[in-house]
Structure 1
Amino acid sequence: MIAVRRLSTIFARPITWIALLVAAVLVVLVAAPLAGLVAATVREDGGGSWADVLASSLSQNLFWQPLGNSLLVAIGTGLISTLLGGFLAWVVVMSDVPGRRIIGVLATIPFALPSFAIALAWESVFRNDRLGGNPGLLASLGVAVPDALSWGALPVTLTLVAHYYSLSFVVVAAALAGIGGDLIAAAELTGASRARVAARIALPAVAPALLSGFLLAFAEGISNFAVPALLGLPVRFQTLSTRLYGAISTGDTERGYVLAILLVLVAAVVLYLGNRATRGRSFAVITGKASRARTVRTGPWRWPLLAASLALVTATTIIPGLVLAVSTLLRRTNDLDGGFTLHFWIGASDPSIAQGFRGVLSDPVLLQAGMGTIALGASVALCAGALGLVAAYVVRRVRSNVVGAGIGFLAYVPFLIPGIALGAAFIAQFGAPIGPLPSLYGTFAILVVAGTAASLPFAFQTSRSALGQVSNELEEAALVAGAGTGRRIGRILLPLSARGVTGGAMLVFVTMVRDLSLVVLLVTPATPLLAVQTFRYTSEGFTQHANAITLVIAAVSVAATLLARRLQGARRPWTES
């Protein structure tokens, strides 16, 4: 009887039913697609796919060589991104180099750009004539560009670094801002040199941030599809993401699903090892006594440091945009002598130019893709924001640690799944009818569902942080006054946390607008998106059109990112006085 009463009491609480509903949605969005992905590879008609991928005459080309290429690119991306991001973070936060605020703002922009924007800019400059077609600007000027600089591992890695070093910069800058000046001053009073202070205090204190920056860049690098596809596939430089795309797009779905599972495992293992490396170690630098960050005097080195910093942010922020903008105005691809035109922006169909394709702003297909992209971003932002907020509220209010931990775990799992692998999981789960439910493949709905699942970790963490700033006393006072759960959420929690939640939803919107890896397997001609249209035009050699679409995506992404930062009111260490 006591157990029955306890159960009846538990199920009488609204939070219990909300928790069950959230858990059910997370199972459908996260657990079921992964389970379906695994099930598709072990059923009778797909059981041999594991042996084909791992231990057959095909495995070298199917898995092992792409795995080696993926690790090469991901490790290079992680290491160089951490080095460059850490360097800029030190310059902006701890040095006396002039212009630090401008450098700090410019250093955050590359991550807001689509990764293929920088790849297209690289191709416009460094493409040689190895594959025929129109060479890049350097080759058109008579400069002999080596193959290693045009195609393959080096340009793929450098392009990903130019995109993802912003992650390391933001993480390390925040950590450096937390190092109190009292610690550095105390070390200097003991006679320690600047090099010793840096090696024994500053570097160990930001070690977790450096590791986090590396892991983020590594995870993004190993799962990125657009850059290896644009700069690697033309010379058959395959990574796991491009091999996965090739397998599924050609109908070899079972092997593609195996590659997706292996890609998830590789990313998860590296993230686990990284977290294990700092487990149990103390990196505390914040004490009970407040102190301002201490600026390092760079003396005569300030100008070389300024030049190096400006060169880095200019090369990754300003130059790619200028290259893409100029390339869209060239009548002939990457040929400055051919004259300029606005045809690729506003031109009507002309059989003598680009095989009759209209300008991107006058093409109804691209206008439809633009509307679809905006609609997808808004829909995913709304769904992921709402689900993340409710999930964060459940974790905050539910009394069961098991339920809270389970919901938190399911909300975090998509972070471990590369976008293209998650897309494959949704094809495996929703690509065929399930009972009375029809197949979702080729519909707008599967894009929204997959986008919501992929964006959930960020929406959940943002909402959890926003709710954490609202005192429990306010909700408890409303409860005493007789306010129900819905009224407490709608009248107290939501208004007080709206700024952070809305800012997080805006960043989800940005991610969906510029993302290609997640949607490239899910999009069909019935559901065109700008990112996929860019990939299509690039693959078919219509460079000006591809670059113009990319600029549109970049403009929307940067504008939404700046708006999101404004809504969040995020404090940046380089803007503190």
Structure 2
Amino acid sequence: MANFSSLAARARYAVPQGLPLKLGVLLVIGVLIAGPLLRVLFETLPPQTIAAWSDVVISPLSRNLLWVPLTNTLILGVGVACGCVLIGGFLAWLVVMTDVPFRRTIGLLATLPFMIPSFATALAWGSLFRNSRVGGQTGFLEGLGLPVPDWLSWGMVPTLIVLTAHYYSLAFTVIAAALATVNSDLVEAAQMTGAKRGRIFAGIILPVALPAIVSGASLTFAGAVSNFAAPALLGLPVRMQTMATRLFGMIEIGQTARGYVIAILLIVVSAVFLWFGNKIISGRRSYATITGKGGRAKRFELGAARLPLLAIAVVICVLTTIVPVIVLIASSLAPSSSALFSDWTLHYWLGASNPAIAQGQAGVFHNPFIVSATSTTVSLGLVVAVTGSVLGLMVAFTLARYRAGFLSGVINQLAFLPLLVPGIAFGAAYIALFGAPIGPFPALYGTFTLLVIAGTAYLVPFSVQTGRAVIQQVSGDLDESARLTGAGFFRRLSAITIPLASRGLAAGAIIIFVKIMRDLSLVVLLFTPTTPVLSVLAYRYASEGFTQFANAITVVILIISIAATLLANRLQTKSQPWLKN
């Protein structure tokens, strides 16, 4: 009886399984994610800064500080979301549900634009369509003698086009996955009853794809409203401000309190739209289309429309993938954007300093600042890939193995919170938290460490999602058996989970590497001359009129990113054999 009482008392005071790990993970992501965002809010509440709210929202300055940028931001967000759903949905329908030729090639090309940084597409647009309104070099079309109107060179229209070309891949991927679940039996049954194609589309296909359409619209809206590169390159020269560019301007000139208010409002705009999209999806009726029966894809015969629709798809894919890359390469070799394909020179790549060319700027491989930026950027990508993967693995392991309980829910919400926060607002949050000393810790602004911490925190959702996917492939029984033999947590992780999921984890690390390599919105506020990164350097060169250097640097980023992406895809295919089919 005494032994039984002893065991009962021990069980009463035993630490719940996984609690130390949950608390440790919660502490880390709380400091990295919740801490900076709360600090931004608190920075705007003291008496000396509370006036920033009225300045931004209701003062005579508010029109230029908030309402005009907000209007432009919403126009961009809604316009890009609609354009991406239309283009991505069209290509998804063509690839998944029709007998169009070269479906796989179209599908591959439709996923590539998102690999190309948005500032690369914006630079390519400028090289083609820039006119003489703001001075400097003119674009290729004007060099041919073709008049290019201002509305096509600068402002809202080119920004809308560039962002739509960049983000439609997201909508394509999401909608294509949904259309692949449409059961052919439903379509055939409708055809047998005499239903026309329009009726089948509206009654069967559209309801099944509606959640994906809303998700695609939400993702592309959030991406467009938070994008800094395209509005900055194509809008700022003609004073078109969005909330992202206005936030950047406020921080740049030292009006940090107003900048933090704009950051908070930008987060609210993005979060509200994403919440609204989720609300639509959660409130709809359920349409079950996957059953226990075997299914096959139902492809509509296009007949005489096959070749015209193929031509439209090819034109879209080529204009958004191949053309920008060709223009960037040509511009990095041409003496001016107005003569892209003549008098090529390697000076902007290999040339030494020449006072007669580009104000004495040496070529990319001879420019110590660009070489240093390349080294810093690659180092940043590698370090963030490692730290992000480790943190993502810890969070994913916690959520996969100890999913029950309140703490797990909090960890899950915090881990995916950065998806709601625009990159430039997240960068502002890190300036607010780490821009000044904290107790015995020095200020981190302008250090490589701050770039690593911010990049790791911002990419936590991607690393968690990748980590969770690979950990769920490893049976929990293996971990439990090792635990019963006395193996500690880190021993189990290093001996079982990591070796069995190594390929998937490596692919996830490479994806993180690519994202931080080509990200501009996050790092543009954290950039200093002591921590140069290639994306911000390309933006700076473009802003100062050194188009060839900006495009050459962007080509370097593209080469590294595409090579890493192809490697990641190869690793994912090997770790997930079903992707081969």
Q: Would the alpha carbon gap of residues 576 and 460 (structure 1) be closer, same or farther in structure 2, given more than 3 Å must change? A: closer
- Structure-1 residue corresponding to 2:243: 240
Q: Which of 563, 566, 569 is equivalent to 1:565?
A: 569
| 1:276-295 → structure 2 map (5 Å cutoff) | 276-281=279-284, 282-295=286-299
1:562 positional shift: 1.4
- Structure-1 residue corresponding to 2:316: 312
1:112 aligns with 2:115: yes
Q: Deviations over 1:301-329 (max 9, x none)?
A: 00001000000000000011111111111
1:483 positional shift: 2.9
1:334 positional shift: 2.5
**How far, CA to CA, are the matches of 2:576 and 2:552 in structure 1?**
32
- Deviating above 3 A after TM superposition, structure 1's stretches of 4 or more consecutive aligned residues are 1-8, 570-577
1:231 aligns with 2:228: no
**How far, CA to CA, are the matches of 2:12 and 2:227 in structure 1?**
47
- Structure-1 residue corresponding to 2:356: 352
Q: Which stretch has the larger CA shift, 260-269 or 125-134?
A: 125-134
Q: Which of 69, 73, 78 is equivalent to 1:75?
A: 78
| 1:513-532 → structure 2 map (5 Å cutoff) | 513-532=517-536
- Structure-1 residue corresponding to 2:14: 9
1:397 positional shift: 2.5
Q: Would the alpha carbon gap of residues 312 and 286 (structure 1) be closer, same or farther in structure 2, given more than 3 Å must change? A: same
- Structure-2 residue corresponding to 1:218: 221
- Structure-2 residue corresponding to 1:323: 327
Task: Work out whether residues 142 and 338 of structure 2, in 8 Å CA contact, stay in contact via their aligned partners in 1.
Answer: no
Task: Work out whether residues 180 and 290 of structure 1, in 8 Å CA contact, stay in contact via their aligned partners in 2.
Answer: no
The amino acid of 1:442's aligned partner reads G
**How far, CA to CA, are the matches of 1:313 and 1:465 in structure 2?**
30
- Structure-1 residue corresponding to 2:456: 452
1:274 positional shift: 0.6
The amino acid of 1:69's aligned partner reads N
1:374 aligns with 2:378: yes
- Structure-2 residue corresponding to 1:252: 255
Aligned partner of residue 537 in structure 2, secondary structure: helix
Aligned partner of residue 10 in structure 1, secondary structure: coil
Q: Would the alpha carbon gap of residues 32 and 382 (structure 1) be closer, same or farther in structure 2, given more than 3 Å must change? A: same
Q: Deviations over 1:463-520 (max 9, x none)?
A: 1122122222222233334433222212222222222222122111111000000000
- Structure-2 residue corresponding to 1:171: 174
Q: Would the alpha carbon gap of residues 82 and 336 (structure 1) be closer, same or farther in structure 2, given more than 3 Å must change? A: closer
**How far, CA to CA, are the matches of 1:214 and 1:80 in structure 2?**
9
- Structure-1 residue corresponding to 2:25: 22
Aligned partner of residue 42 in structure 1, secondary structure: coil
1:45 aligns with 2:48: yes
1:427 positional shift: 0.3
Q: Which of 143, 160, 164 is equivalent to 1:140?
A: 143
TM-score by length of 1: 0.96
Q: Percent identity?
A: 51
Task: Work out whether residues 174 and 572 of structure 1, in 8 Å CA contact, stay in contact via their aligned partners in 2.
Answer: no
Structure 2's unaligned 5+ residue stretches are 1-5
**How far, CA to CA, are the matches of 1:91 and 1:550 in structure 2?**
32
TM-score by length of 2: 0.96
Q: Would the alpha carbon gap of residues 61 and 208 (structure 1) be closer, same or farther in structure 2, given more than 3 Å must change? A: same
Q: Which of 61, 64, 69 is equivalent to 2:64?
A: 61
The amino acid of 2:567's aligned partner reads L
**How far, CA to CA, are the matches of 2:9 and 2:146 in structure 1?**
81
Task: Calculate the aligned-residue CA RMSD, in Å.
Answer: 2.0
1:270 positional shift: 0.5
Q: Would the alpha carbon gap of residues 26 and 462 (structure 1) be closer, same or farther in structure 2, given more than 3 Å must change? A: same
Q: Would the alpha carbon gap of residues 199 and 475 (structure 1) be closer, same or farther in structure 2, given more than 3 Å must change? A: same
**How far, CA to CA, are the matches of 1:47 and 1:4 in structure 2?**
53
| 1:437-516 → structure 2 map (5 Å cutoff) | 437-516=441-520
| 1:392-403 → structure 2 map (5 Å cutoff) | 392-398=396-402, 400-403=404-407
1:269 aligns with 2:248: no
Task: Work out whether residues 573 and 579 of structure 2, in 8 Å CA contact, stay in contact via their aligned partners in 1.
Answer: no
The amino acid of 2:466's aligned partner reads T
**How far, CA to CA, are the matches of 1:81 and 1:361 in structure 2?**
38
Q: Would the alpha carbon gap of residues 512 and 501 (structure 1) be closer, same or farther in structure 2, given more than 3 Å must change? A: same
| 1:546-561 → structure 2 map (5 Å cutoff) | 546-561=550-565
**How far, CA to CA, are the matches of 2:302 and 2:555 in structure 1?**
38
Aligned partner of residue 283 in structure 1, secondary structure: coil
**How far, CA to CA, are the matches of 1:19 and 1:323 in structure 2?**
50
Q: Would the alpha carbon gap of residues 3 and 341 (structure 1) be closer, same or farther in structure 2, given more than 3 Å must change? A: farther
- Structure-1 residue corresponding to 2:3: none
1:133 positional shift: 1.5
- Structure-1 residue corresponding to 2:426: 422
Task: Work out whether residues 573 and 580 of structure 2, in 8 Å CA contact, stay in contact via their aligned partners in 1.
Answer: no
- Structure-1 residue corresponding to 2:208: 205
